[in-house]
Amino acid sequence: MSIPPLYVVESISEAVRLDVSVNGVSVIRVLAPGRRTTQVKLNPWLVSGHNVITARLLPPAASAGRAGEPAFALRLIHGEHGRLPGPEGVLADLEWDPADRPLEPGRPIVFEAAFWADDVPTGWAWESAPTGSLSEGERRQILRVVEAVHEGLVGRDAEAVVALHRRKHAELGIALGVPPDELADDHAGLLSSAMTADDWRVAPLDLDTLSLEEYADGRLIEVRGPGSLPPLQARSGGRPLAFGLTLTQVDGTWAIVR
């Protein structure tokens, strides 16, 4: 399987709340005020042709404290896998000047850049999913998927958890040029290793505390826990683990795709 060119976004932020989205889908979210450098491969979120990347800055929450001076910079890079791109590979280079555009509570500072992508696989399940707000029945279906993943984690059943991510592995494999079976095996190995730790613990699941965030006109649903954190939390080897879930509707059934 050949590896397609990669589209990568890197952000550096400090003393701000940051949300970076591609085509209306959140790909980077920073809530803590400390200095943070984040890098994400965008290929799984791209559509054929015109794409848009958007960054929104807000002041830190009052309860979060403050670390350092507010700062934000973002770079979008396109190039071949394993090779550093030259200047021609920089599709967007954004930097915020707080003196020019000061942060104000409740008023986000927005940066936006458009770019063209026609050299990578696209055609994801969510692109053809129904649009619109969720019905109560659809919400229950999504929460049942969350419950099923939680049950697999609690029961130390790595195979069951991996099976629920089958569609995700298939699409990420196409996007990144990696055989889906290899992704599934890696996922199973990481889970199995974590589950064998003596201190493996999975936090209780309270469905009433979860929120379902709609993206791409309701075609993608991200499940969030309290404080906008991933909905499933665990601990293994003395380290916290978090499991994010983003779903779409495929042939009338909700499936994990990211």
Tell me the percentage of the chain whose pLDDT exceeds 90: 85
Q: Is residue 118 situated within a structural domain?
A: yes
Question: Residue 130: which of 32, 250, 224, 23 has the closest Cα?
Answer: 250
For residue 23, give the nearest of 51, 56, 55 by alpha carbon: 51
Contacts of residue 20, Cβ cutoff 8 Å, sequence gap at least 6: 9, 11, 26, 27, 28, 29, 40, 53, 54, 55, 56, 74
Point out the domain boundary residue: 53, 88, 122: 122
Residue 173, domain member (yes or no) = yes
Say whether both 95 and 138 belong to one domain.
Answer: no
* Residue 1 scores a pLDDT above 90: no
Q: Does residue 117 sit in the same domain as residue 131?
A: no
In a domain, 1, yes or no: no
Task: Using pLDDT thresholds of 50, 70 and 90, give the confidence band for residue 60.
Answer: confident
19 and 103 inside one domain: yes
Residue 233 lies in a domain: yes
Asked if 137 and 106 sit in the same domain, the reply is: no
Whether 32 has a pLDDT exceeding 70, the answer reads: yes
For residue 162, the surrounding DSSP H or E stretch is: helix 158-164
pLDDT in tens, 132-161: 999 999 999 999 999 999 999 999 999 999
Burial class, 171, CB count within 10 angstroms (exposed 0-12 / middle 13-18 / buried 19+)? buried
Is 66's pLDDT higher than 80? Answer: no
Does some domain include residue 10? yes
pLDDT band of 83, cuts 50, 70, 90: confident
Mean pLDDT lowest among 85-89, 162-166, 188-192, 202-206 = 85-89
More confident residue, 64 or 105: 105
Residues 73 and 188 in one domain: no
pLDDT of 63 strictly over 70: no
> Distance between CA atoms of 134 and 32, rounded to whole angstroms?
30
Q: Is residue 225 included in any domain, yes or no?
A: yes
Examine residue 165 and state whether it is found in any structural domain, yes or no. yes
Residues 106 and 140 in one domain: no
Choose one of 88, 105, 122: the last residue of a domain.
122
Residue type, position 253, single letter: T
The answer, yes or no, to whether residue 64 has pLDDT greater than 70, is no
The domain that holds 238 is classified in CATH as 3.10.450
**Pair (147, 69) in one structural domain:** no
Query: Does residue 180 sit in the same domain as residue 199?
Result: yes
Q: Are residues 111 and 11 in the same domain?
A: yes
113, two tokens: 């850049």
Alpha-carbon 16 to chain mean position: 19
Query: Tell me, what's the pLDDT at 81?
Result: 77
pLDDT at position 208 is 96
Distances (CA, A) of 122 to 22, 79, 176, 242: 14, 17, 11, 28
Residues 136 and 79 in one domain: no
Q: Average model confidence (pLDDT) for the chain?
A: 93
Residues 87 and 18 placed together within one structural domain of the fold: yes
Q: Among residues 122, 151, 184, which one ends one of the domains?
A: 122
- The parent domain of residue 175 ranges over 126-256
Number of domains in the chain: 2
From residue 27, give the alpha-carbon distance in Å to each of 9, 144, 157. Answer: 9, 24, 28
213-235 mean pLDDT: 95
Average pLDDT of the segment spanning 39-44: 95
